[in-house]
Structure 1
Amino acid sequence: MTDPAAMLDLPMPAMAHAPAESPPRLQRAQGHARIAFRRVEERTRLLEFYQQGCCKVRLPRPEPGRPVEAVLLNTSGGITGGDRLEYEIAVGAGAELVVTTQAAERIYRSPAGPGFVINRLNVAAGGSLDWLPQETILFDRCGLDRRLEVDLAGDATALLAETIVFGRGAMGEAVRTLELTDRWRVRRDGALVFADGIVVNGDATAILAGGATASAATAIGSLVFVAPDAPRRLDEVRAVLGECAGETGASAWPGLLNVRFVAASSQILRADLRRVAEALRRRPLPRVWHC
């Protein structure tokens, strides 16, 4: 019979350890949409339509006297780290198109790295494109790397707008951690005519508090009108800016007019940008902006 006391001196068998689990691979949103229009018998007609993944396009029936509209949708509901969305828009010679989004784009908290958005716009000679997406709302601890690339030919015109909102104002959210890179490149006949970029890495609330950045504003926007006669509209635009509630400014040089917006809330900035855009377009913004 085994002595129980002796058993206490026996070495314990080695315990098998379960292998450490690696972090789960999160599903990422991927999407690509491409549309092209041309002018046929005095009307703008759809030439090409492609959509894949979460990037979708809707073409509502245009109202009488209004140009054709394309409404972009992200069916994933927002953007987070690792997502990749790409839109390509082509407007043929003499065609006219307005592009907007169904709603504001939300950039959610990212566990690692930014989400990527690439917008490529191409307008042939005599064509006209209004790029009027609704706001981009940045959540705390989010990341976004976005590019807007515009190529114009000859006397093509483009009205380009972007609005960025830092945090969810209704919740009192402060964006303390952010990784943002937003770049614009506009070319006419291959020559660079406008380049702009915003980089905010770190505590966005602290960075935007300075007088040289945004004076503690939580919403910023840009509106760029690219057309041969753009500088002639400067006085008209500055008169409209005098009616705006936020901080604004406008400047112009050959072939281009640039308007900047800074506001304490997304509502103020939206109203200001809408006022100026409608003055430049001489018609209301797309219907989805009024929903």
Structure 2
Amino acid sequence: MTHQSVAAAGVDVERRAPDWNGHPDNGEGALAADNPADRRPPAMEGGEARGLTSAEANSEPSCGASGDASSDGSNESTAQASGDVSSDARNKASAKASSEASAEANAAASALPASDLAPSAGSGSWHGRASLRFSRGGDGLSRHQGSASAPLKIQRGFNRANGRCELPLLHTAGGLVGGDQLSITVHLEPGSRALLTSVAAQKVYGTIGRSRLRPEGAWALQELAFQLEEGADLEWLPQELVVYADGLYEQRTRVNLAPGAGWLGAELVRLGRTAAGESLGAGRWRSLLEIRRRDPGGDRWELVDRLELGGSSLVEAHGLAGEPVFGSLVWAAPRKLAGTELVELVEACRGDRSGLEGTMACGSLEQGLLARYLGPSSTAARSWFTRLWARIRAAQGLAAPELPRVWPFQERPFAGQEVAGAAGQAWSLADRR
């Protein structure tokens, strides 16, 4: 059992005086209304749930620049996107793409230990899978194809600036219970760009002491595998995770980067529904992040980050020190930044802590940066990470970010922020959607 201090991210830690009081208007109070008894819709608790576990194929040749194209895999929407290609050939191509995507998801899942993949008989656990592939067309727009099985569902995708495909994923089960597993594999072809996010915050319900058969509880597991080819760029920015009292959750993230590929990822977790006076209790949260770069001279590790929070690490000074919200943001840059360039970026990211409460640390990696948040407010953490997102976009000469349409932000994370964009011009960011 290990834990790591937030200060281990790097060079500078700053403590902000708290000014948040947990009022529902700050976006935290809604957590108090969540009831573990509602973790499954009634139809998902009985035999009828078995019918939902069949694969739901999703194939969309275009991400949809207007945002109007549907990604439900229907023949009708495919016909509109395929132009003068025959219906028979189109259906065969769609079936082949879905089959290949499903094979990728199954291959990724097979890498997990058998003990993690096999829930006990009659447990009613889910194993949802999603597999996505992005490619870049001659028009500069990135497009996706993919498949998913319940309770995961691929939502409608559309293009943003720089041809990036923005795609939300939906977890339809309303939360994770012990024994549930999610496996998501993503492959970006050369030059493609994508933003993946989630439609809502993820919930993990408590299992310790809830069953006479397994009083020790059972872990919920999410496995993420990202494969990026040369020049590809992926932003993995899901909404936050809420682990209820006595919940057990583990996430394993493996990123494989080709030369010139860049990956930005963030995870934000609230341990216990603190607005309802609840702590994590006997629960635990684990995270493993591995980033590997394929260079001409041989593969190299860019980052291996293993964390576990629970027990004494929730209250110790070198753990969470009693704070309920923890977050990490990692950027594996597509190139090595010059010494002054990286120093200036890190300093700007530290300046973006202004007006936010909590402990925030930011330091450089060999080829990128790492930021940590520790504090009482997921609103403050989201705001800081969103500002860092804008800084990282600017460092690459890309368009300013727009908040995904599915994010329920009430705050204004970009308010008052200016960053230097491509060719040195200044951005004054607005909270656009």
TM category, shorter? 0.7 to 0.9
Aligned residue for 1:79, secondary structure, equals coil
Matched, 1:31 2:121: no
Shift of 1:164: 0.9
Asked if the contact 1:226/1:256 (under 8 Å) is kept, the reply is: yes
Q: Note closer, same or farther for the CA distance 1:211–1:100 as it changes in structure 2 (3 Å cut).
A: same
Matched, 1:226 2:332: yes
* Post-superposition CA distance 1:219-251 (Å, at most 9, x none): 011111111245352222122234532211111
Shift of 1:179: 2.8
Alignment of 1:140-289 (within 5 A): 140-189=245-294, 190-201=299-310, 203=311, 206-227=312-333, 228-229=335-336, 231=342, 233-281=345-393, 282-289=400-407
Q: Note closer, same or farther for the CA distance 1:243–1:187 as it changes in structure 2 (3 Å cut).
A: farther
Shift of 1:62: 3.0
Amino acid at match of 1:126: G
Higher-RCO chain (CA-CA 8 Å, sequence separation at least 6)? 2
Counterparts of 1:285 and 1:27 in 2: how far apart (Å)?
Answer: 36
Asked if the contact 1:96/1:128 (under 8 Å) is kept, the reply is: yes
* Aligned residue-pair number: 266
Asked if the contact 2:293/2:301 (under 8 Å) is kept, the reply is: yes
Please identify which structure carries the higher helix content: 2
Aligned residue for 2:131, secondary structure, equals strand
Q: Relative to structure 2, which stretch is displaced further, 151-160 or 225-234?
A: 225-234
Aligned residue for 2:401, secondary structure, equals coil
Shift of 1:31: 0.6
Amino acid at match of 2:407: W
Root-mean-square deviation over aligned CA pairs: 2.0
Counterparts of 1:223 and 1:243 in 2: how far apart (Å)?
Answer: 19
Aligned residue for 2:406, secondary structure, equals helix
Aligned residue for 1:158, secondary structure, equals strand
Matched, 1:122 2:227: yes
Shift of 1:99: 0.5
Amino acid at match of 1:184: L
Residue aligning to 1:87: 184
TM-score normalised by length of structure 1: 0.85
Residue aligning to 1:8: none
Counterparts of 1:46 and 1:65 in 2: how far apart (Å)?
Answer: 13
Shift of 1:66: 6.2
Counterparts of 1:132 and 1:169 in 2: how far apart (Å)?
Answer: 23
The percentage of aligned residue pairs carrying the same residue is 24
Aligned residue for 2:197, secondary structure, equals strand
TM-score normalised by length of structure 2: 0.58
Residue aligning to 1:50: 147
Q: Note closer, same or farther for the CA distance 1:191–1:24 as it changes in structure 2 (3 Å cut).
A: closer
Shift of 1:46: 3.0
Shift of 1:64: 5.7
- Structure 2, unaligned runs of 5 or more: 1-119, 211-216, 394-399, 410-433
Counterparts of 1:159 and 1:178 in 2: how far apart (Å)?
Answer: 28
Please identify which structure carries the higher strand content: 1
Counterparts of 1:127 and 1:37 in 2: how far apart (Å)?
Answer: 9
- Structure 1, unaligned runs of 5 or more: 1-22
Q: Note closer, same or farther for the CA distance 1:101–1:158 as it changes in structure 2 (3 Å cut).
A: same
Bigger Rg, which one = 1
Aligned residue for 1:212, secondary structure, equals coil
* Post-superposition CA distance 1:9-54 (Å, at most 9, x none): xxxxxxxxxxxxxx99331112100010111114334353111121
